[in-house]
Structure 1
């Protein structure tokens, strides 16, 4: 059996802040969560890095120290790791919210993509530019890109009958929080918007980024299927979208949407369909369950899918008043695991 899991571990860091504990305060709870997954491949989101001695902006030096500390004494301690890197500094993680793939199997290939197939988008701000700052007839342009790249790795799993090549794609799409709009957020109260239109524009920009990441992921999938029509592919991660919403539909490429039955072998299937509807959530917001974390699989891999589980029994609603992280050290997302029998 092959167990593949995804888990938004929620701002994993060494740093202790007010009401936001670091890894030492969280590690006992988190190790229990990870132990229960018993994953052969684990996709993580929101892993922060720590600066090392001699770190500068021009010569960055960082490591995933909090993650290394957490994995001590666990089955994952000696797994093969692959994480997101700075664009011009291979192997140096980003400061915050890194993607990480931990694999019991060695990687055959590793890549990350950000604005590879979709260039930065030109956008005309609506509420940002003040009238007195623009000359008559001027339309100020802005360039939109997304912060987090796509992480793509391949592994080979020997089932005893044959060797299976698996594509693992780890994603963290833009959150539903509005993007910052210059001049529209109060300087002293970061959560206070100066106009409803400013908030709406920020929300709109976040949607563009989220769907843009999903589109780029779909382009990657088509590239994989061009080379390997029967590819076994998994897309895992925090997609910040529910089934039926644009990012999920864009990645899955259902025949119901394309209208083209010749593309049916390229469709991605949501493993969550195997979970009873009453348990189909990985996040709680104002008392309502949301399915934001997903494992999507290609049809050749779907044939080997045995069972799935969302470990949401102890999930807490951190959107409620006074629900600070100090009270709930696990994560505000539930892990999601899928089990495959490659001997079938």
Structure 2
């Protein structure tokens, strides 16, 4: 049985007055991209929630409209939420699947306690927890073949310096190099900590079932050789222990030629920030991967020059697997 698994950062999908571009203009660009993916399971990042009436709870109205009258309309769905079940205002994670979910996990600072850090600019405030920006979302799917797949949807923090009291003069400008450097250090703690918690969840799954099929998908805001990806991959070159080979996650884009291996263009530099990583047994079922980056624009140039752009400046990825019947 062929299964197509995709990931796509929709880049602040929203509707109403806060939307970055008219919603119908965004839909006219995004709908053909979703159709081309022809996915059975799809991980979305940056899905904003809307409140249609002030007295009503927020809903994923923009996403509902995007998927309406498409093959994805009736897919099963998981999404991130607060403890009380209400949706996050911004940057929800969503997984949709042709097949039902047997289990849902939303994890944030549960498997790993955030590190404590005392900032230089507030020496009397004491050490405070450096937590992650977002949770991870995981869903367990059972295929008609009786095989099961854990899909982990992950959106790591961008490598932008975290704000510090009194150190910024604007959204992207700092009062001192030392302030920026400390903010950048804090941001790296947040990004690497969240990657570590995702790796700990994968460890939990593979320790319970060494033959489990696991995919970690999403906008990881890092290239394959950067620290967050090395934490997630756990290559034997890093662990130095051949007995741990079953715990390795492999970035599937490795099979792409260099000239196709990018999902974002920033100031003319092509980089692979979006990934699908597969566990050993899932890798054995892997056949192909596509990155739909042919029409991708430069995000930095667009922010400066294009008003109300309907594009996402992340290219979607889709991988295909041949899933065999369970023994």
| TM-score where L is the length of structure 1 | 0.90
Q: 1:169 aligns with which of 147, 152, 157?
A: 152
Deviations 1:86-125, CA, capped at 9 Å, x for gaps: 1x212x2100000000111010111100000111321010
Q: Which residue of 1 aligns with 2:34?
A: 34
Asked if the contact 1:85–1:94 (Cα under 8 Å) also holds between the matched residues in 2, the reply is yes
Structure 1 unaligned spans of 5+: none
**Secondary structure at 1:50 match in 2:** coil
**Secondary structure at 2:229 match in 1:** helix
Deviations 1:32-79, CA, capped at 9 Å, x for gaps: 110000000000000000125455xxxx82111110011111111111
Q: Which residue of 2 aligns with 1:157?
A: 143
Q: 1:229 aligns with which of 196, 207, 210?
A: 210
- Between the aligned partners of 1:343 and 1:289, the Cα distance in structure 2 is 36
Q: Which residue of 1 aligns with 2:45?
A: 45
What displacement does 1:330 show?
2.2
**Secondary structure at 2:174 match in 1:** coil
Deviations 1:128-178, CA, capped at 9 Å, x for gaps: 32xxxx6xxx4632221012001010001124xxx2100000000011121
Number of residue-to-residue matches in the alignment: 323
Is 1:5–2:11 an aligned residue pair?
no
Q: Which residue of 2 aligns with 1:323?
A: 305
**Secondary structure at 1:309 match in 2:** strand
- Aligned-residue CA RMSD in angstroms? 1.6
- Between the aligned partners of 1:191 and 1:288, the Cα distance in structure 2 is 20
Q: Which residue of 2 aligns with 1:219?
A: 200
Q: 2:128 aligns with which of 142, 147, 152?
A: 142
**Secondary structure at 2:105 match in 1:** strand
Q: 2:84 aligns with which of 78, 89, 106?
A: 89
Q: 1:310 to 1:259 in 2, by over 3 A?
A: same
Q: Which residue of 1 aligns with 2:58?
A: 62
Asked if the contact 1:252–1:267 (Cα under 8 Å) also holds between the matched residues in 2, the reply is yes
What displacement does 1:193 show?
1.1
**Secondary structure at 1:85 match in 2:** coil
Of stretches 167-176 and 43-52 in structure 1, the one that deviates more from structure 2 is 43-52
Asked if the contact 1:317–1:323 (Cα under 8 Å) also holds between the matched residues in 2, the reply is no
Counterparts of residues 1-344 of structure 1 (less than 5 Å): 1-16=2-17, 20-53=20-53, 55=55, 61-86=57-82, 88-90=83-85, 92-126=86-120, 128-129=121-122, 138=124, 140-159=126-145, 163-186=146-169, 189-320=170-301, 322-324=304-306, 326=308, 328-343=309-324
What displacement does 1:324 show?
2.9
What displacement does 1:287 show?
0.3
Asked if the contact 1:165–1:232 (Cα under 8 Å) also holds between the matched residues in 2, the reply is yes
Asked if the contact 2:11–2:45 (Cα under 8 Å) also holds between the matched residues in 1, the reply is yes
Q: Which has the larger radius of gyration?
A: 1
